[in-house]
Structure 1
Amino acid sequence: MSALVKLLAGITPPPIVTPQEYDGWQIKWKAIVFRPALLKIEGFLAIGILFYVLFWYIGSSVNASKAKKWISVHLPIYEQQFSRPQSKTGLIQDGYSDSFNFSTGRRNVASLHTIFTLRPRHDFFQWIFQTARTFVDLHYRPVDDIQLDFKLLPGALQDGFVWAIVAKDELLSVKANRWDLVGTLSRRFLFLQLNHSQTLAKTSENAAVPSAFVVMTEYADITENLLKPIGNFNLLNVLQDPKILPYFRSLSITDQPRERPNLPIPVEERQKHVILSLSAPSSSHAADTTALVSAMFQLVDSLNKIHLRPETKNKLKRIREDIDKTIKEDAEKEKALDAKAAAKRKAEEERIAKLSPAEQKKELEKERKRNLRKSQGKVVRK
Structure 2
Amino acid sequence: MADFLKNIVGGSKSPDTPIPSSDSDFADFADAPSPSPVPFESVAGGATLGGPAPTSVPYTKWYNVHERYTLNDFRAEGVILGIIAVVFTLHFIGTKLNRAKSRAWIKAHASVLTSEFAAVGFGRTSEKTPEKLLKAKSLFEYATYATGRQNVAFMDVKLTLKKRFNPVMTLIETALSFFFDSFGAPEDSVEAVIYPFDGKEAQIVPALPGAAELRSKDSKSTFDGFVWAVVNKDKMKQLREERYDLSITFTKDNSKLPIWATVMSESAEITETLLTNELASAIKKAGDLFDYIIISDQPVDKPTKMDETIPRKRLYLRYRLPSSNNYDDLAPLLSYFVRISDHLASSAHFRPEVIRKVRAVRDENIKQIQKAAEEEKAEERQAERDRAKKAKRDAELNALDAKAQKKYLEREKEKELRKSSKKQTVRA
Q: Tell me whether the two structures share a fold, i.e. TM-score over 0.5.
A: yes
Q: 1:55 to 1:223 in 2, by over 3 A?
A: same
Q: 1:337 to 1:170 in 2, by over 3 A?
A: farther
Alignment of 1:319-330 (within 5 A): 319-330=361-372
- Aligned residue number for residue 151 of structure 2: 108
Shift of 1:163: 0.6
CA distance in 1, matches of 2:98, 2:311: 34
Q: Which amino acid aligns with 1:81?
A: E
2:115 to 80, 100, 121: 80
Largest Rg, 1 or 2: 2
Shift of 1:248: 0.7
Instruction: Name the SS for the 2:326 alignment partner.
Output: helix
Q: Percent identity?
A: 28
1:154 is aligned to 2:194: no
Q: Which amino acid aligns with 1:54?
A: T
CA distance in 1, matches of 2:376, 2:71: 66
What RMSD, in angstroms, separates the aligned Cα atoms of the two structures?
A: 3.3
1:65 is aligned to 2:109: no
- Aligned residue number for residue 273 of structure 2: 225
Are the aligned partners of 1:163 and 1:253 in contact in 2 as well (CA < 8 Å)?
Answer: yes
Q: 1:252 to 1:36 in 2, by over 3 A?
A: same
- Aligned residue number for residue 279 of structure 1: 320
1:48 to 83, 89, 103: 83
- Aligned residue number for residue 195 of structure 1: none
- Aligned residue number for residue 238 of structure 1: 282
* 1:183-227 deviations in Å (ceiling 9; x for gaps): xxxxxxxxxxxxxxxxx1112222232111011111112111112
Q: Which amino acid aligns with 1:313?
A: I
CA distance in 2, matches of 1:271, 1:217: 17
Q: May I ask how many residue pairs the two structures share in their alignment?
A: 295
Are the aligned partners of 2:232 and 2:288 in contact in 1 as well (CA < 8 Å)?
Answer: no
Are the aligned partners of 1:238 and 1:292 in contact in 2 as well (CA < 8 Å)?
Answer: yes
CA distance in 1, matches of 2:165, 2:366: 43
Are the aligned partners of 1:225 and 1:308 in contact in 2 as well (CA < 8 Å)?
Answer: no
Q: Which amino acid aligns with 1:288?
A: D
Q: 1:62 to 1:334 in 2, by over 3 A?
A: farther
Q: 1:132 to 1:334 in 2, by over 3 A?
A: farther
2:241 to 133, 151, 176: 176
Are the aligned partners of 2:159 and 2:188 in contact in 1 as well (CA < 8 Å)?
Answer: yes
Shift of 1:302: 0.6
Q: 1:329 to 1:35 in 2, by over 3 A?
A: farther
Instruction: Name the SS for the 2:254 alignment partner.
Output: coil
- Aligned residue number for residue 258 of structure 1: 300
1:288 is aligned to 2:333: no
Q: 1:216 to 1:49 in 2, by over 3 A?
A: same
Are the aligned partners of 1:152 and 1:271 in contact in 2 as well (CA < 8 Å)?
Answer: no
Are the aligned partners of 1:221 and 1:309 in contact in 2 as well (CA < 8 Å)?
Answer: no
Shift of 1:134: 4.1
TM, length-normalised to structure 1:
0.68
Shift of 1:277: 0.5
- Aligned residue number for residue 133 of structure 1: 176
- Aligned residue number for residue 360 of structure 2: 318
TM, length-normalised to structure 2:
0.61
- Aligned residue number for residue 358 of structure 1: none
1:302 is aligned to 2:302: no
Are the aligned partners of 2:120 and 2:133 in contact in 1 as well (CA < 8 Å)?
Answer: no
Q: 1:329 to 1:51 in 2, by over 3 A?
A: farther
Runs of 5+ in structure 2 lacking a partner? Answer: 1-59, 124-131, 200-220, 384-389, 391-428
Q: Which amino acid aligns with 2:260?
A: A
User: Which deviates more from structure 2 when the two are superposed, residues 201-210 or residues 137-146?
Assistant: 137-146
Instruction: Name the SS for the 1:206 alignment partner.
Output: coil
Shift of 1:312: 1.0
CA distance in 1, matches of 2:88, 2:319: 30
Shift of 1:143: 1.9
1:208 to 228, 253, 256: 256
Runs of 5+ in structure 1 lacking a partner? Answer: 1-20, 183-199, 342-346, 348-382
Are the aligned partners of 2:252 and 2:263 in contact in 1 as well (CA < 8 Å)?
Answer: yes
